[in-house]
A and B are shown apart, each in its own frame.
Chain A
Amino acid sequence: MTVRVGVVTFPGSLDDADALRAVRLGGAEAVSLWHKDPYLYDVEAVILPGGFSYGDYLRCGAIARFAPVMSSIIDGARDGMPVLGICNGFQVLCESHLLPGALMRNAQRKFICRDQRLRIENSHTAWTADYDQNQELVVPLKNGEGSYVADEQTLDMLESQGRVVARYMGGNPNGSQRDIAGITNEMGNVVGLMPHPEHAVESLTGPGTDGLGFFRSVVTQWTARVSA
């Protein structure tokens, strides 16, 4: 028996299939969730994948926030269920107020698609526990609106509470404040990440397998909890 991890498909999601595959490679059972269905099918964790939910109409993630499945996910997240939002999923988490701040158009106005170096700065979240503190990874980054913004007070709070999960290395690719690539909530169960670890789980199709740790972390933590 292993942990069941759900991946939501919104209209316009692109990376749901890659996320489902990454979940399986990480050792969990992958469960497809549908945006219109509020039932979570007994999953223990949820991933909001990358893409352009609802065509990015209005603002990225703004419409997805009100999808029936999101009300269940927001309730679950507040109760401690692990939730990982990747790229568009990160935007949905910010719009849902599960994470502070917002994601804006890249400062240089160009869509970015490249292999990106990151540093894991919080290895205690539900999604990063399999990494070492300050471990460096290379995973693909591909976004048009990936510039993380928040007011100074919020940024200082994130820094002082160790809630910056990942930071860009080797230059800021999109204008994100303080080179932030990913953040977590106070409990450490909700993580938003702009780069795509689900595209770095097999050496055949990605820059390596550095992304697997996100998907393994949730399995490791669940296994430890169940066997405790």
Chain B
Amino acid sequence: MPTVIVDVVLKPEILDPQGQAIVGALGRLGIEGVTAVRQGKHFELDVEEHVEDETIAKLSQTLLANPVIEDFSIRR
């Protein structure tokens, strides 16, 4: 059964407080040079052969991501 990957990230113009918190924590770890972090969600969908890209795009748009604030990408 093939696995389809859907990654969801906040749109670039949307403030990401959690990403900022991660940058702050990196500084406290003593790691330098990471200037920004954008965090998101990673979905792994086990799908039957007949499930088409169009269906994956539809479910990503209606449920996995909120298109008002998030972008998504699909990988087979």
- Write the residues of chain A forming the contact surface with B, with a CB cutoff of 8 angstroms: 58-59, 62, 66, 94-95, 100-102, 104-109, 147, 149-151, 175
Specify which chain B residues have a CB less than 8 angstroms from the CB of A106 in the assembled complex: 17
- Distance in Å from the Cβ of A132 to the closest Cβ of chain B? 32
Q: How many A-B residue pairs have CB under 8 A?
A: 36
Q: How large is the interface on B (under 10, 10 to 19, 20 to 34, 35 or more residues)?
A: 10 to 19
Main secondary structure of the interface of A (DSSP, over half): loop
Most buried by A among B15, B20, B68: B68
Interface residues in B56-76 (C-beta closer than 8 Å to A): 63-64, 66, 68-69
Q: Which residue of A lies closest to B13 (CB)?
A: A151
Q: Which residue of B lies closest to A66 (CB)?
A: B63
Residue pair B14, A150 in contact (C-beta under 8 Å): no
Specify which chain B residues have a CB less than 8 angstroms from the CB of A58 in the assembled complex: 63-64
- Distance in Å from the Cβ of A84 to the closest Cβ of chain B? 21
Given the interface pairs A94-B68, A109-B21, A150-B68, the reply to whether A104 lies near B63 with Cβ below 8 Å is no
Residue pair A175, B15 in contact (C-beta under 8 Å): yes
Q: Kindly state the separation between the CA atoms of A66 and B62 in the bound complex, as whole angstroms.
A: 10
Residue pair B68, A107 in contact (C-beta under 8 Å): no
Q: Which residue of B lies closest to A101 (CB)?
A: B68
Q: List 17 A-B contacts (CB under 8 A).
A: A58-B63, A59-B66, A95-B66, A101-B68, A102-B66, A104-B14, A104-B69, A105-B18, A106-B17, A107-B15, A107-B17, A109-B18, A149-B14, A149-B68, A151-B13, A175-B15, A175-B17
Specify which chain A residues have a CB less than 8 angstroms from the CB of B15 in the assembled complex: 104, 107, 147, 149, 175
Specify which chain A residues have a CB less than 8 angstroms from the CB of B18 in the assembled complex: 105, 109
Specify which chain A residues have a CB less than 8 angstroms from the CB of B17 in the assembled complex: 104-109, 175
- Write the residues of chain B forming the contact surface with A, with a CB cutoff of 8 angstroms: 13-15, 17-18, 20-21, 63-64, 66, 68-69
Residue pair A62, B68 in contact (C-beta under 8 Å): no
Specify which chain A residues have a CB less than 8 angstroms from the CB of B68 in the assembled complex: 94, 100-102, 149-150
Given contacts A109-B21, A149-B15, A149-B69, 16 further A-B contacts (CB under 8 A): A58-B63, A58-B64, A59-B66, A66-B63, A95-B66, A100-B68, A102-B66, A102-B68, A104-B15, A107-B17, A108-B17, A109-B18, A147-B15, A149-B14, A149-B68, A150-B68
Nearest 6 Cβ contacts at the A-B interface: A102-B68, A102-B69, A109-B17, A105-B17, A102-B66, A59-B66
Specify which chain A residues have a CB less than 8 angstroms from the CB of B66 in the assembled complex: 59, 62, 95, 102
Specify which chain B residues have a CB less than 8 angstroms from the CB of A95 in the assembled complex: 66
- Distance in Å from the Cβ of B1 to the closest Cβ of chain A? 23
Q: Kindly state the separation between the CA atoms of A100 and B17 in the bound complex, as whole angstroms.
A: 21
- Distance in Å from the Cβ of B34 to the closest Cβ of chain A? 18
Q: Kindly state the separation between the CA atoms of A3 and B72 in the bound complex, as whole angstroms.
A: 44
Given the interface pairs A109-B21, A149-B69, the reply to whether A62 lies near B14 with Cβ below 8 Å is no
